[in-house]
């Protein structure tokens, strides 16, 4: 059962919550959001989703989420967040690794945390992993290092999404060089994915946002677009080149469609006619179960959101898991390797069993065995130092779990 820590702001009267989905591990991780109308049920659902991501990765971390039901802006908002972080400061020191989420930015949270005596909103990682302060902050500093046009922190989620797409496309018979990709959403996630795709030799031929769809059959000039303000419509970022309605994206004969923005991005009608043979979901709930089932029945390969959108959790493994301090590029390289191994494992299992990739990934998560007495990071079987699962992690995990139960060991 989830454990909920509830808060009421003494000045504004708004409510806040920290929800731990499970209490199996030393560390729990998940984002913090500020959203009017936010409920504890929403946070509980999101915390459960975070646990799913950790278990799929095979790391010793539980899922958590926190947030404030608040609509204010300006100095009052900063003060409300500060009071909430003060209220959960012991959790931030010892168990809860906080990230940003809807309505928050990581730099903002770090600044507020520092102001109340919490060294970092991820300081619990230091405690759980057994790092010294020096080593913890050396590793955290890598998130601010530039690799290409953007920092590791800015690139990690999109880089993971891009390589999930490259792995799925390769398994479907479409090599990276010359791959034609369409991206729905060009915020931080979509932009970072585009940068990594182009770096691997793929062509991003279409990008859509809430204002429309920019298309070029030989590939958009992604480096030039990345120089533009993220808030500008993609049609402006591409100097009004072939600007079309946003829904055009779903009619294009591309090799891969990436969903990197909104929930339920593809309607059931669009799913019935979608031309892309591979769909990779990066946005939370970016594809409804109904639309995903329609695509699967049509033979479309779908990588679900808790795989495509796993970059934040995966990057923590490649940042904190290695025994020695990695280089910034190694953090991204490690994430790329990890997601290729994970996607290959999931799709291999799906092909062998004749079921959707989502079913295999869910079984992997369900069969995962955690080790509460071990550090949170450094245990993923998909990391560069891990033993490659080769499509049979579910069976091996289930066997391991049976052995623990038979010997009475606590899993």
- The structural domains of the chain, with segments of one domain joined by +, span 3-130, 147-411
User: Which tens digit of pLDDT belongs to each residue from 242-272?
Assistant: 568 878 899 999 999 999 998 899 999 999 9
CB 71 within 8 A of CB 105: no
Whole-model pTM: value is: 0.90
**Stretch 290-301: mean pLDDT:** 95
pLDDT at residue 403, rounded to an integer: 42
pLDDT at residue 394, rounded to an integer: 56
User: Which tens digit of pLDDT belongs to each residue from 319-361?
Assistant: 999 999 999 999 999 999 999 999 999 999 999 999 999 999 9
Determine how many CB atoms are found less than 10 A away from the CB of residue 187.
14
Give just the sign of the alpha carbon dihedral 190, 195, 199, 202. positive
Which CATH number, 3.30.420.10, 3.30.200.20, 3.40.50.720, 3.10.580.10, labels domain 147-411? 3.40.50.720
CB 83 within 8 A of CB 53: no
CB-side exposure of 360: number of CA atoms within 13 Å?
Answer: 24
Residue 61 φ then ψ, to 5°: -140, 140
User: Which tens digit of pLDDT belongs to each residue from 157-176?
Assistant: 999 999 999 999 999 999 99
**Stretch 270-288: mean pLDDT:** 94
What class has domain 3-130?
alpha beta
CB 11 within 8 A of CB 1: no
pLDDT at residue 148, rounded to an integer: 87
User: Which tens digit of pLDDT belongs to each residue from 45-71?
Assistant: 999 999 999 999 999 999 999 999 999
| Whether pLDDT at 238 is above 80 | no
pLDDT at residue 5, rounded to an integer: 98
Cβ partners under 8 Å of residue 10, min gap 6: 83
pLDDT at residue 241, rounded to an integer: 57
Place of tokens 């091996």: 396
Query: Shortest CA distance to 303 belongs to which of 254, 357, 256, 340?
Result: 357
Position 228 confidence tier, pLDDT thresholds 50, 70, 90: confident
| Burial class of residue 384 in the structure, from the number of CB atoms within 10 Å of its CB (0-12 exposed, 13-18 middle, 19+ buried) | middle
Q: Which H, E and C letters describe the chain, residue by residue?
A: CCEEEEEECCCCCCEEEEEECCCCCCEEEEEEEECCCCCHHHHHHHHHHHHHHHHHHCCCEEEEEEEECCCCCCHHHHHHHHHHHHHCHHHHHHCEEEEECCCCCHHHHHHHHHHCCCCCCCHHHHHHHCCCHHHHHHHHHHHHCEECCEEHHHHHHHHHHHHHHHHHHHHCCCCCCCCEEEEECCCHHHHHHHHHHHHCCCEEEEEEECCEEEECCCCCCHHHHHCCCCCCCHHHHCCCCCEECHHHHHHCCCCEEEECCCCCCCCHHHHHHCCCCEEEECCCCCCCHHHHHHHHHCCCEEECHHHHCCHHHHHHHHHHCCCCCCCHHHHHHHHHHHHHHHHHHHHHHHHHHCCCHHHHHHHHHHHCCCCCCCCCCCCCCCCCCCCCCCCCHHHHHHHHHHHHHHHCCCC
Q: Which H, E and C letters describe 74-135, residue by residue?
A: CHHHHHHHHHHHHHCHHHHHHCEEEEECCCCCHHHHHHHHHHCCCCCCCHHHHHHHCCCHHH
């Amino acid at each position: 059962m989830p454990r909920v820590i509830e808060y009421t702001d003494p000045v504004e009267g708004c409510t806040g919550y920290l929800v731990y989905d499970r209490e199996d591990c030393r560390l729990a991780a998940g984002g913090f959001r500020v959203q009017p109308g936010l409920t504890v049920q929403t946070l509980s659902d999101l915390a459960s989703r975070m646990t799913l991501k950790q278990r799929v990765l095979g790391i010793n971390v539980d899922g958590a989420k926190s947030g404030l039901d608040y609509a204010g802006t300006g100095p009052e908002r900063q003060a409300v967040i500060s009071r909430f972080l003060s209220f959960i400061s012991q959790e931030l020191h010892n168990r809860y690794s906080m990230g940003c989420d809807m309505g928050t930015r990581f730099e903002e949270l770090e600044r507020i945390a520092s102001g109340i005596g919490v060294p970092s909103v991820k300081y619990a990682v230091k405690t759980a992993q057994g790092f010294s302060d020096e080593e913890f902050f050396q590793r955290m500093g890598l998130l601010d290092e530039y690799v290409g046009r953007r920092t590791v922190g800015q690139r990690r989620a999109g880089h993971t999404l891009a390589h999930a797409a490259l792995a799925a496309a390769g398994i479907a018979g479409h090599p990276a060089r010359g791959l034609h990709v369409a991206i729905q959403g060009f915020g931080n996630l979509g932009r970072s994915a585009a940068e990594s795709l182009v770096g691997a030799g793929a062509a991003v031929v279409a990008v859509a946002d809430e204002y429309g769809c920019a298309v070029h059959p030989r590939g958009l000039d992604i480096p030039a677009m990345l120089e533009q303000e993220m808030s500008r419509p993609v049609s402006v970022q591409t100097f009004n080149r072939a600007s079309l309605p946003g829904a055009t994206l779903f009619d294009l004969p591309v090799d891969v469609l990436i969903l990197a923005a909104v929930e339920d991005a593809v309607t059931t009608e669009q799913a019935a006619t979608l031309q892309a043979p591979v769909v990779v979901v990066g946005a939370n709930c970016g594809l409804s179960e109904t639309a995903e089932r329609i695509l699967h029945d049509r033979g479309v390969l779908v990588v679900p959101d808790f795989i495509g959108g796993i970059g934040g959790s995966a990057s923590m493994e490649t940042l904190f898991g290695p025994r020695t301090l990695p280089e910034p590029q190694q953090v991204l390289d490690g994430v790329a390797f990890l997601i290729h191994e994970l996607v290959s494992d999931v799709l291999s299992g799906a092909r062998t069993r004749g079921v959707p990739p989502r079913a295999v990934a869910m079984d992997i998560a369900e069969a995962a065995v955690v080790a509460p007495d071990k550090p949170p990071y450094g245990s993923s079987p998909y990391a560069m130092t891990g033993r490659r699962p080769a499509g049979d992690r579910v069976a091996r995990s289930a066997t391991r779990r049976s052995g623990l139960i038979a010997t009475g060991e606590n899993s």
